[in-house]
Amino acid sequence: MSSSQDAERISPEAVAELYAEFGDDLRAYLTAVLKDREQALEVLQVVLRKTLEQGHLVTENLRGWVMRVALQEAMLLRRNQTRERQVLEKAAWKQSKPSDVPDLALSVPMTVETVKIVRQAISDLTPDQQQVVRLRIYEDKTFAVIAQELKLPLGTVLSRMRAALQKLEVALKDYAKD
């Protein structure tokens, strides 16, 4: 690459600023897509490197571009892993099945304030809604299992969860505005 092109590149400082601005969002996003925190961090490194190399060529919204690159890289990693797994399975290797349970462990440090707000918002939910939220998010049970355990129609469980999520989202949005 020529020196004039280098001069146009996004500086490492600018990438660092970009990371400071929405690095946490990007990590949460990649963790949601990959369901694996370690892999999310791995892909995050690749995304930052690509931003450094190609960010200066981006004409659209940089955040949108970074999100798209992140998703593409995550999907690529997943495809490669699937291919690798298939090869290994064909070779009759004993391969442990990757967990179907999403890893929703903390990827972003929670602030004291955020947790307080969410706890307050949870306590404002109806007991039925609180129960479903706890079972689904904290205990990581599927809706089907929850419906079975509570002896409720699946639709009822989904409605309760959906109503609870709307309330929680509003509480967090209000907090973010303040």
Could you tell me where the DSSP H helices lie in the chain?
3-8, 12-34, 37-54, 62-90, 112-123, 127-133, 143-150, 154-177
20 binds another protein (CB under 8 A): no
The mark string for 48-87 relative to another protein (x by CB under 8 A, - otherwise) is: -------------x-xx--xx--xx--x------------
Least distance CB 40 / another protein (angstroms): 10
115 binds another protein (CB under 8 A): yes
Least distance CB 109 / another protein (angstroms): 4
Euclidean distance between CA atoms 168 and 78, whole angstroms: 31
- Pick the piece of the chain touching another protein (CB under 8 A) from 9-17, 25-33, 48-56, 82-90: 25-33
Site for another protein in 149-168 (CB under 8 A): 161-162, 165-166, 168
Alpha carbon 32 to chain centroid, angstroms? 3
Q: Look at residues 138, 158, 137, 134 and name the one whose alpha carbon lies nearest to residue 147.
A: 158
Residues 174 and 118: beta-carbon distance below 8 Å: no
Residues 74 and 33: beta-carbon distance below 8 Å: yes
Binding site for another protein (CB under 8 A): 24-25, 28-29, 31-33, 35, 61, 63-64, 67-68, 71-72, 75, 100-102, 104-112, 114-119, 122, 133-134, 136-138, 142-143, 161-162, 165-166, 168-169, 172
